[in-house]
Amino acid sequence: MNVIKTLAFTAIAGAVAFGAISNAQAQKRVKWKMQSAFGSQLSHLGTSGVRFSEKIDKLSGGKFQVKFFEPGALVPALECFDAISKGSIESCWTTPGYHTGKYPGLAFMTAVPFGPQVGEFIGWKWFGGGNALRDEIYQKHNLIAFDCFAIGPETSGWFKTKVVGGVASLKGLKMRFFGLGAKVMTKLGLSTQLLAGADIYPALERGVIDATEFSMPNIDKDLGFYQIAKFNYYPGWHQQVSVSELLMNRDKYNGLPENYRTMLEVTAGWGVMYTYAETEAQNPQAMLDMGTKYGVTNVRWEDADLAAMEKAWNEVMDEESAKDPWFKKFRESYDAFRSKYKIWGDAQSLKLTYLK
């Protein structure tokens, strides 16, 4: 009986001690800086970051603050990778496709041309080895990341005049384009450059670029592209789903109490599907508004144009894989998962309707 009492007392004492430690950790006040690659007023991309900061504040009772900073407030919008690696700031609300100057293969982590829908894409990233490859790279640079939001299909370009003659007529055009899709457009003879969202409108207005893609109707309207370019092309062959990240300094992250680290992971994961659903709910009306309110003509590429883009994409994958070992790793992991998934995907596929 004494042994039992002793064990019981020890267990209670341990629980009290653990609770005291947990409470002490919970009381720890931490302030982080989080620069966003997207403005706080920019639908979905920026507003999701503001929402994330607010959720962390509420979950921690105000003890853990992850303060949202506008693009360029701390470092240039597309240069978070080095700043966080060095510990200059703790975190960024950004996307892996903005780090392709260092690792071209990281573009796979945001979006893949002619790629899958959200379920298959996230399945590969989380459970099929995609994020594991990303983590290998990030660990080399003292970085860690959580996927923090996803958005639905984008549109594939804003043009000042209707494209006559298909994609072949675009040769020589200067266009803002993102990620792996940019490599496709370059292959097709366009001159592409990557610009942060806030820099696109003035570049389009001054003629620095002739055309642009950025995102989807409900986001693009915030940036006012329709004031200059009246032809918006579909479908978003280059980004059927896009996933972004909360990028953090690994040492700073490891130094957090466990409950704060859990808050970051869980809130980021929640944001992935919340933001995706938000974009899918709001874009149909935004697309209609483009035509009825803003005088935009929504145009769908001809099948022959999409075939030319897909052919160029296949060539890009082969060429980049031959040049870059990390690109090859991402490509092989992605292809292997899609090949296996196809058995399930084909079995579950449905046409839009079977009624005649």
Which residues, other chains included, contact 212 with Cβ-Cβ below 8 Å and sequence gap of 6+?
Answer: 157, 158, 175, 176, 177, 195, 200, 203, 204, 225, 229
User: Which segments of the chain are extended strands (E)?
Assistant: 30-36, 64-69, 91-94, 143-151, 157-159, 174-176, 191-193, 211-212, 231-234, 242-249, 297-300
Q: How far apart are the C-alpha atoms of 139 and 340, rounded to whole Å?
A: 28
Whether residues 39 and 178 share a domain: the answer is no
pLDDT per 10-residue tile (average), the chain, 356 residues: 38 40 63 97 97 98 98 93 97 97 96 97 98 98 98 96 93 95 96 93 96 95 95 97 98 98 98 98 96 96 97 97 98 98 96 94
Range of the domain at 294: 157-239+289-324
Q: Answer yes or no: is 333 within a domain.
A: no
Same domain, 229 and 245: no
Distance CA 203, CA 224 (A): 12
**Tell me, what's the pLDDT at 91?**
98
Q: Is residue 148 part of a domain?
A: yes
In a domain, 343, yes or no: no
Single out the residue of 299, 292, 159 nearest to residue 234, CA to CA.
Answer: 299
Instruction: Looking at the structure, tell me whether residues 201 and 173 fall in a common domain.
Output: yes
pLDDT in tens, 119-160: 999 999 999 999 999 999 999 999 999 999 999 999 999 999
pLDDT in tens, 249-299: 999 999 999 999 999 999 999 999 999 999 999 999 999 999 999 999 999
Same structural domain, 139 and 79: yes
Shared domain check, 231 and 182: yes
Q: What is the CATH number of the domain that holds 93?
A: 3.40.190.170
Q: What is the CATH number of the domain that holds 204?
A: 3.40.190.10
In a domain, 313, yes or no: yes
Q: Could you tell me if residue 330 is inside a domain? A: no
Asked if residue 346 is part of any domain, the answer here is no
- How far from 107 is each of 37, 136, 212, 269, 293, CA to CA, in Å? 16, 15, 18, 20, 34
Q: Is there a single domain that holds both residue 114 and residue 190?
A: no
- Residue 37 resides in a domain: yes
What is the structure's pLDDT at 27?
66
Domain total in the chain = 2
- Residue 21 lies inside a defined structural domain of this protein: no
Looking at 282, 305, 335, which one is the last position of a domain? 282
**Eight-class DSSP state of 12:** H
